[in-house]
A = this chain, B = another copy of it.
Amino acid sequence: MKFAIVFGGASYEHEISIVSAIALKKVIKSELCFIFLSPERDFYAIDIGNMKSNYFAKGDYKKSPKLELTRNGFVKKSFFGSSKIEFDTVINLCHGADGEDGKLASIFEFFGIDFIGPRIEASVMSFNKIYTKQLANMGGLKFLRYVAVNKKDRQKVLTENIVFPIIVKPSRLGSSIGVSVVKNKDELEYALDVAFEFDDDILIEPFIEDVREFNLAGCFAKDFIFSVIEEPQKNEFLDFDKKYKDFSRTETVFKADISEELQDKIKEEFKKIYNLGFAGSLIRCDFFVIGNEICINEINPIPGSMANYLFEDFNSVINDLAENLPKVKKIGVEYKYINEIASAKGKAN
């Protein structure tokens, strides 16, 4: 199995995608090639020796060969002709917009490229946190109550009678970008400004201090494969700087110190969400445990460095998944209706 890691993208998470790709370079034992999606949306074939963050920060990637997307896959063109980039399966590692909002899923499906990553529906439903709440509701999962606010209703929020603390999040961003914990009314206006800087839709949730959070990654390949369950150490909440460093993680973690029973319950909640369209992807779900209830907090359909550090044998997981990707139904077009109408009319028009 040869993987092509597609990373970068026109998104606020462009840089962490680079860090994530560099981390996977060290982790994946299979043959690898790297395809960079620049902020200008050009694809480049990156030599593995150039997989260093400064190569991108300095703009040196522009010296790498540009690729074109065709129905045959990614193609390198030169004066002497064109050659296809050979690989079996893409790993979509573009965190945030482009990668997680459905654009790359659409492009890979359209151009017939096999890929690990969320499909279009799963992308849209997990990228927009308001839709994620609907999805959780459909799947019968518990979730924190929330209020969705559009930018045009910003003033209304300021006059509401709010019970603090709350957490304010842009609806369509990951990696904690634009997220604030708001402890009182004085801090609210600034938090709204920050969140609306990134998205016209935001979410407001109660902020629960000392809530226990558990992360579980997994995928379906013939059967469910689960990672260990981690209880992340946190200082209020992981902000972007901390999460950024998190994307380069490659060392394995220790299991959360919780009962087998609670572990099984968390896995059951994971399955409920995954079964709502996440086939083909390796996702990480973040759960809160509040009293006896397990609430889903977030779905990461392309977790940082594919949450490799949560798995005991990440290489076999990624290979199993690649061999069990969902099949796309082929739709035949027979021009049956046009022919019927044409023959009814007795002429060809």
Find out whether the CB atom of A39 lies under 8 angstroms from the CB atom of B333.
yes
Of chain B, the residue at the smallest CB distance from A172 is: B121
In-complex Cβ contact of A332 among B19, B39, B41 (8 A): B39
Check: A46 CB closer than 8 A to any chain B CB. no
Say whether, besides A106-B102, A110-B41, A134-B138, A15 and B331 are in contact (CB < 8 Å): no
Given the known A-B contacts A19-B338, A106-B120, A134-B134, are A331 and B11 also in contact in the complex, defined by CB atoms under 8 Å? Answer: yes
| In the complex, residue of chain B having the shortest beta-carbon distance to the beta carbon of A112 | B41
* Cβ < 8 Å to B, chain A residues 311-336: 331-333, 335-336
Within 5-60 of A, Cβ neighbours of B (below 8 Å) are at 10-12, 14-16, 18-19, 39-42, 52-54, 56-57
Among A77-132, those with CB < 8 Å from B are: 97-98, 101-107, 109-112, 120-121, 124-125, 128, 130-131
Q: A338–B336 Cα gap in the complex (Å)?
A: 57
A163 beta carbon closer than 8 Å to chain B: no
Q: How far, in Å, is A81 (CB) from chain B's closest CB?
A: 14
With beta carbons under 8 angstroms apart, the residue of B10, B15, B110, B131 that contacts A337 is B15
Which 3 pairs of residues, A with B, have the shortest CB-CB distance?
Answer: A106-B106, A57-B335, A54-B348
**Listed A/B pairs (25) with beta-carbon separation below 8 Å:** A12-B331, A14-B333, A15-B333, A15-B335, A15-B336, A15-B338, A16-B337, A52-B349, A53-B349, A54-B342, A56-B335, A57-B335, A57-B338, A69-B69, A97-B331, A102-B124, A103-B110, A104-B106, A106-B106, A106-B107, A120-B120, A120-B124, A121-B131, A131-B134, A138-B148
Known: A12-B331, A41-B71, A104-B106. 8 other contacts (CB 8 A): A16-B337, A54-B349, A57-B338, A68-B70, A102-B106, A120-B120, A120-B124, A244-B337
